[in-house]
Amino acid sequence: MNSSNNPVHGHMDMGRLDQYRASQRDAQTDKVAETHIGKSDTAALAGAGVFLGSEKRSATMVVRDHQPICLQNDSKGFEMLPIAAALKQYDWLREKYFFKAVPEDDNEAVASCAKQENPLGFFIHVEKGVKVTLPCQAAMYMASDKLAQMVHNVVILEEEAELQLITGCLTRHHVRSGMHVAVEEHYIGRNARLVSTMVHSWGPEIMVYPHTGTIVEEGGRFESNYVLLRAAGHVVSNPRTWLNGRGASAKYVTVVIAGPGSVVDTGGSVYLNAENTSAELAHRGVSTGGIMNQGGMLIGAAPCKAHVDCAGMLLDPGERGYIESVPGLQSLHPDARMSHEASVGKIAPEQVEYLMSRGLEEREAISLLIRGFLGAEIEGLGETLDERIAEIAEIAGHGEG
Amino acid sequence: MPADTNILEIEALCVEAGGKELLHHLDLAIPEGEVHALLGQNGSGKTTLMMTIMGYSGYQVTHGEIRFKGQDITALNVTQRARLGIGIAMQRPPTIQGVTLSKLLAYELEHTRAPADMAELAKIAEIEPFLNRSINDGLSGGEIKRAELAQLLAMSPAFSMMDEPDSGVDIEALSLVGKLIHRLFSPDEKHPVKRKAGLIITHGGHVLNQYPIDKAHVMHDGKIGCSGNPAMIIEAIGASGYEACVRCMETR
């Protein structure tokens, strides 16, 4: 993903961490506080798919700067708590799960996160056989400038459990710079299913380093939809997934926009370790002047089936924008059937004029084409994600981003 | 015929594409309520003329003027021309991944006052099987023609152009194409003589058996070489071939 002759890589510059206020929390903030969230906050959160007070959500947690605020949690058989509270309550959490899918010495950012005495973030536990019908939602919200927000989230689905998780990670509108480091661990039990939809919307100079590890047991399924709506200064997202049980599967859909001045590095590795495991990775991105590195590595160690597909559209390279697309395969088993494809293109003028001949304005036509490109061949995106993609298309089509 | 009864008037039009002049001082007038056919050999400039009327940017007007409903539209872009009431059914339209035909039809129906709804349109144009697929993705020639005609019906333009709606389709499909063309140009069944105007490119002239055409023009080397009664022109081409037609036009 990060070829050595490339001037800008997805590596973190942890020297920057010192620039941000990382430990402003006091003892009070460890508690679950019913703090008031203002109207402008509510609107900002809704923009990233997190709707406060909605009856269509099973549970809600907002981490505002350094404060976890649990707003709603009324479902049976599943629990959403601030991670610090969960660690105090459940000894088994630290023993069996905490930093098991993402090693605490993984890199400097993760190590910094691990050093926190009272970690910030959420814990979700869905009991055996419980199928949570309404999605649960979380927001990682940075409302202050020049802040370092470090979060650690753990999601555990027991056997046959099902959950839809919506996470919005965003900055308040005026926030320009800061750092967001996230460790997220997913444990998906036998025949359990987790659908995670994450929308990122950042200020222009935010450094964003999520580290996600997912372990899927036999027959389990993980679906990840990641949408980068408003590009940050630097985003590096390389989630790792281990399909450890027979028939386990994973699907990643990543849709990003890289505007001028931003570097977006999205990839991820999927380890197909058991018989009949399968994985699909689809990356779609538009650059309106930013740098975009698209990757995705499939490692087949058993009879499995997997495909990774990267497609980029360079609308305007600007001064330093480019797209680098490097999907990869590593086969460790003769019956691992894996494939990859990558393409980079632009909008064809004949397509724009074709739509114009149907009465669309040029800008409308371009937005529609971008939207089509971003959503093409990704079935069952769902209304929320489709709306977000329409928004990206609108931004990109108008030469912003 | 006074100028104000012509819906389309083209005067001394010269058009370049890819650095080459393809139309040379071409003149054409189509009155309101008339549908004309454009015949000619491959490479004679038929598609170039149609794309130029629509305003496609690959076709540079270097001389002359195009007037639509009396207004000079030579400098207008494709959207502006479409909104004035010019529609096109292309022979080889582009494939657009991720944008469904139903989405585009919905847009067209919403922005025009076409007397149709999506379900009815899909049914009569037999486009239901690929309505929710990406536009023109993996469609056969006949399916593309139906999809294009359905879009014209959804837009219901004052002036419709079609590029070879009759090529490569069997007799059964041809009759469906004829039915759709009929509905497009004569939407009011009670007043069959009150018609919309249009221009249909046809190589073999099969469409002339499907819908009454008022006048035919034969193109040769970027110009209209001959104009007249459609049946008589087609008969002459059928009897002696385009070669004889070309010899005649060149010796005049």
Tens digit of pLDDT for each residue in B224-247?
A: 999 999 999 988 888 888 888 888
Nearest to B111 among A359, A371, A376 (CB): A359
Residue A314 and residue A287 in contact, taking contact as beta carbons nearer than 8 Å: yes
Chain B contacts of A385, Cβ < 8 Å?
none
Helix A362-375 / helix A349-356 crossing angle, nearest 10 deg: 120
Does A354 contact B at CB distance below 8 Å? yes
Residue B87 and residue B161 in contact, taking contact as beta carbons nearer than 8 Å: yes
3-state secondary structure at position B236: helix
CB contact under 8 A, B96 and A353: no
The residue-averaged pLDDT of A321-327 equals 95
Does A368 contact B at CB distance below 8 Å? yes
Tell me which residue range forms the domain holding B39: 3-251
Question: Which runs of consecutive H residues, i.e. helices, occur in A26-179?
Answer: 39-47, 83-89, 91-92, 108-114
Strand partners, A68: A63
Chain B contacts of A377, Cβ < 8 Å?
97-98
3-state secondary structure at position B235: helix
Chain B: residue whose CA lies nearest to A347: B96
Chain B contacts of A361, Cβ < 8 Å?
79
CB contact under 8 A, B82 and A362: no
CB contact under 8 A, A357 and B96: no
Residue A269: Cβ within 10 Å count = 19
Q: Which two tokens stand for residue A141?
A: 């919200």
The residue-averaged pLDDT of A78-99 equals 95
Q: What span, in angstroms and rounded, lies between the C-alpha atoms of A184 and A110?
A: 10
Q: What span, in angstroms and rounded, lies between the C-alpha atoms of A371 and A383?
A: 13
Instruction: Determine which of A127-131, A171-175, A239-243, A354-358 has the lowest per-residue pLDDT on average.
Output: A171-175
Helix A383-397 / helix A362-375 crossing angle, nearest 10 deg: 140
Give the CATH number of the domain where residue B86 resides.
3.40.50.300
Nearest to A350 among B77, B94, B103 (CB): B94
pLDDT digits (tens, 9 = 90+) for B143-166: 999 999 999 999 999 999 999 998
Nearest to A358 among B57, B107, B134 (CB): B107
Helix B101-111 / helix B141-155 crossing angle, nearest 10 deg: 20
Q: Which of B31, A386, A215 has its CA nearest to residue A394?
A: A386
CB contact under 8 A, B96 and A355: yes
Cα angle B29-B35-B40, degrees, rounded to a multiple of 5: 75
Q: Given a cut of 50, is residue A27 above it in pLDDT?
A: no
Report pLDDT for A373: 86
- As a 3-state breakdown, chain A gives helix, strand, coil percent values, each rounded to 5, of 20, 45, 40
Report pLDDT for A387: 75
pLDDT digits (tens, 9 = 90+) for B79-138: 999 999 999 999 999 999 889 999 999 998 988 766 678 999 999 999 999 999 999 999
Residue B118: Cβ within 10 Å count = 16
Report pLDDT for A58: 87
The residue-averaged pLDDT of B35-52 equals 95
Chain B contacts of A360, Cβ < 8 Å?
79, 107
How many structural domains comprise chain B?
Answer: 1
Q: Given a cut of 50, is residue A30 above it in pLDDT?
A: no
Which residue has 């590795």 as its token pair? A269
A133 vs A55 pLDDT, higher one? A133
Residue B15 and residue B60 in contact, taking contact as beta carbons nearer than 8 Å: yes
Residue B51 and residue B232 in contact, taking contact as beta carbons nearer than 8 Å: no
Q: Which of B74, B10, B12, B17 has its CA nearest to residue B43?
A: B17
C-alpha distances in Å from residue B8, one per residue of A178, B61, B81, B208 = 61, 16, 12, 21
Q: Are strands B60-68 and A147-157 parallel, antiparallel or unpaired?
A: unpaired
User: What is the four-CA torsion angle of B17, B18, B19, B22, rounded to 10 degrees?
Assistant: -40
Nearest to B151 among A353, A358, A373 (CB): A358
pTM: 0.79
Q: Provide the pLDDT confidence category of residue A74 given band limits of 50, 70 and 90.
A: low
The number of C-alpha atoms within 13 Å of A144 and in the hemisphere containing its C-beta is 13
Does A355 contact B at CB distance below 8 Å? yes
pLDDT over 90, % of chain A: 60
Q: Which two tokens stand for residue B238?
A: 């059928």
Q: Which of B243, B211, B84, B24 has its CA nearest to residue A356?
A: B84
CB contact under 8 A, B87 and A353: no
For all residues of chain A together, what is the average pLDDT?
Answer: 86
C-alpha distances in Å from residue A208, one per residue of A9, A225, A228, B175 = 14, 17, 11, 61
Q: What span, in angstroms and rounded, lies between the C-alpha atoms of A299 and A75?
A: 38
Report pLDDT for A347: 87
The number of C-alpha atoms within 13 Å of B48 and in the hemisphere containing its C-beta is 27
Strand partners, A62: A69, A139
Instruction: Determine which of A85-89, A297-301, A371-375, B189-193 has the lowest per-residue pLDDT on average.
Output: B189-193
Could you tell me the residue ranges of all domains in chain A?
A: 26-348+378-385
Chain A: residue whose CA lies nearest to B80: A359
**Type and span of the H or E element at B43:** none
Rounded to 5 degrees, φ, ψ at B9 are -135, 130
pLDDT digits (tens, 9 = 90+) for A234-282: 999 999 999 999 999 999 999 998 989 999 999 999 999 999 999 999 9
Which residue has 């099969």 as its token pair? B206
